[in-house]
Amino acid sequence: MRHTTTKEVAAVASMKARKDLARERGELYLAFADRYFAEGDTKNALSTIEEGLRLTAGPYYLAVADRLSDLKRTIVNQSERVAA
């Protein structure tokens, strides 16, 4: 039976910390983008979403990235309907 080394434990803890930080930042950017969108400021909403997506990118799945993408689609679709 193989024992886990201190380096392996530290690497797992570091990855978890990075994932948690990315999730927290993504949620913060989602809240800002949602507020901008509610105020009718689509330009800042889309910019905030792009930055949130950049901050949540990584080798792990984050549901907040999906929610950012969903809000982006909603804004783009609404903008297209208004323009039409």
Q: How confident is the model at residue 9 (pLDDT cuts 50, 70, 90)?
A: confident
- pTM, to two decimals: 0.83
Q: What is the predicted pLDDT for the residue at 81?
A: 83
Q: How many CB atoms lie within 10 A of CB 13?
A: 10
Nearest to 68 by CA among 55, 84, 82, 81: 55
Q: How confident is the model at residue 1 (pLDDT cuts 50, 70, 90)?
A: low
**Is residue 63's pLDDT more than 80?**
yes
Q: What is the predicted pLDDT for the residue at 55?
A: 93
* Amino acid letter, 7: K
pLDDT one-digit tens code per residue, 33-60: 999 999 999 999 999 999 999 999 988 8
**With contact defined as beta carbons under 8 Å apart, do 27 and 64 qualify?**
yes
* Amino acid letter, 55: L
